[in-house]
Structure 1
Amino acid sequence: MIDIHCHILHGIDDGPVTIEESLLMAKEAVVEGINTIIATPHHRNNKYENKKESISRQVRELNSVLKEENIPLTILPGQETRIFGEILNDYNNGEILTLANTDYLFIEFPSSSVPRYAERLLYEIQMAGLTPIIVHPERNKEIIENPNVLYNLVKNGALTQVTAASIAGYFGKSIKKLSHQLIIHNLTHFVASDAHNTHNRSFKLNEAFDIIENDIGVDYVYLFTENSDLLIRNENINKELPEQIKRRKILGIF
């Protein structure tokens, strides 16, 4: 199994602090059935700056330690970049890192809103030959209140990735419900862990896939696992036509 979103590199963002903690995460990943992880440290989120060169170096170092420790896990380089207007300039200057050096690029929105320029910028990213993947949209306040914001972005070519813990309910009932609706309405294309540690932000991928299989259908499990494999091979992923979510707000709860 491939996990395309994980904060396993130590000492550079809000993931593990030490290499020992990174190794604990690696061992837990193997138990989970994960054999490949894309390391995606935060970048340009007003707190952390992790540029392409430094991430690639840390990935090489962690892979070396994993080999020494006989842990059967491969780490690939990636980055979780907060959306900003000059992202393509930084990409061309060698500071922005795609996922596993493919044409797929993670884009993170602020937790409370979707910037007004997002639609235009995501279009420009696609015109530059990259495919933007919006991370954890189910936890964005504006999208929670109006899922059609996300529908319009997906309709215009953006992809999305939902967090396993969201599907399993660890972020609350409303986020769990929206996560399921995003799957049913073809508004997400990947499920990943966004794991940060082994205690309160661990992988949860098997739990999420069990829920998807039981509540939505096993075909979606195959779709998400295959898409992660297609991504690291830099091939076109599987996707269906997105559908709008029609919802009513009842007593402030969705």
Structure 2
Amino acid sequence: MIDIHCHILNGIDDGPKELDDSLRMARQAVAEGFTDIIATPHHLKGGFVNPGDEVKAKVEHFNEILQKEAIPLMIHPGQEVRIHGEMIDNLENGSVLSLAGSRYILIEFPTESVPLFAQELFFKLQMKGYIPVIAHPERNVEIKRNYELLYEFVESGSLGQLTWGSYSGRFGKKIKKFSEQLLEANLVHFMATDAHFYERRSMEISKPLHDLRRDIGREGTGLLLNNSKLLLNDEVIQLEEPEKIKKRFFLF
């Protein structure tokens, strides 16, 4: 399996602080069945600034350590980029990275809102050949309040990344339910750990993977997980038509 969103690099954001913690996450990832991880440290979120050249150097160094430790895992460079108006310029000068050098860019909205300029920026990115991937939309307050915002992004060619922890219920029953609805409506296209440590927000996905196979079937799960491989190889993802979330009414 491939993880496209993971804070495995130590000492650069709110992920692991020490190298030993990163190595423990790496061993945990291998035990869970991962072969490749795209390292996505926060960039331009709060005080976290991790420009592209520094991330690439950190990834290269960590891969060397993994090889010495005989841990069969490959790390690729990326970022979880906080949305900002200068993103296209920063992609061109190299301070912003796409995921593993692909056409796909992992973009994070503020927790409480979706900026008004997002749709225009995403259109401009697509005109440059990039595909925006919205990080964990199921946890965005404004999208939870008005899911049609996400529907409009996806209908216009953007993609969504759902977090395993959201699907498993780690962030509460409401976010779990919303995650299930987004999957059902074809509004998310990748599953990722968004892991920050080897405990709590970790690489462990065995239980939610089992539940996903139960809920959408082995074939559906396989197709969903294969999207991460297509992304890593910079290939085109064949998408199901996005749907409006069905509102259910209950009689008491």
Q: What is the TM-score when the length of structure 1 is the normalising length?
A: 0.96
Deviations 1:136-172 (CA, angstroms, capped at 9, x unpaired):
0000001111111100110000001000000000000
Distance in 1 (CA, whole Å) between partners of 2:81 and 2:233 is 21
Q: Which residue of 2 aligns with 1:89?
A: 89
Counterpart CA distance in 2 for 1:141 and 1:247 is 18
- Give the superposition deviation at 1:245: 1.1
Give the match's secondary structure for 1:207.
helix
CA distance in 2, matches of 1:242, 1:181: 12
Residue by residue, what CA displacement relative to the aligned partner does 1:59-113 show, whole Å, maximum 9, x if unpaired? 0000000000001111001100000111101111111111011111011000001
**How many correspondences in the alignment?**
250
User: What pairs with 1:122-201 in structure 2 (closer than 5 Å)?
Assistant: 122-201=122-201
1:46 deviates by 2.0
User: Which runs of 5 or more structure 2 residues have no equivalent in the other structure?
Assistant: none
Query: How does 1:58-137 map onto structure 2 within 5 Å?
Result: 58-137=58-137
Per the alignment, in what secondary structure is the counterpart of residue 23 of structure 2? Answer: helix
Indicate conservation of the 8 Å contact 1:39/1:78, yes or no. Answer: yes
Cα gap change, 1:146/1:246 in structure 2, threshold over 3 Å: closer, same or farther?
A: farther
Q: Which runs of 4+ in 1 moved over 4 A?
A: none
- Tell me whether 1:206 sits opposite 2:203 in the alignment: no
Q: 1:144 to 1:249 in 2, by over 3 A?
A: farther
Cα distance in structure 1, aligned partners of 2:50 and 2:207: 30
Distance 1:249 1:59 in 2: 49
Equivalent AA in structure 2 for residue 88 of structure 1:
I
Once residues 205 and 230 of structure 2 are traced to their aligned partners in structure 1, the CA distance between those partners, rounded to angstroms, is 18
The TM-score, its normalising length taken from structure 2, stands at 0.96
CA change 1:146–1:204 in 2 (3 A) is farther
Identical-residue share of aligned pairs (%): 48
* Superposition deviation, residue 205 in structure 1: 2.7
Shift of 1:248: 6.8
Give ranges in structure 1 of 5+ residues lacking alignment. none
For the residues of structure 1 that align with 2:77 and 2:103, how far apart are their CA atoms?
13
C-alpha distance in 2 between matches for 1:160 and 1:105: 11
SS at match of 1:217: helix
Question: Which amino acid is 1:187 matched to?
Answer: L
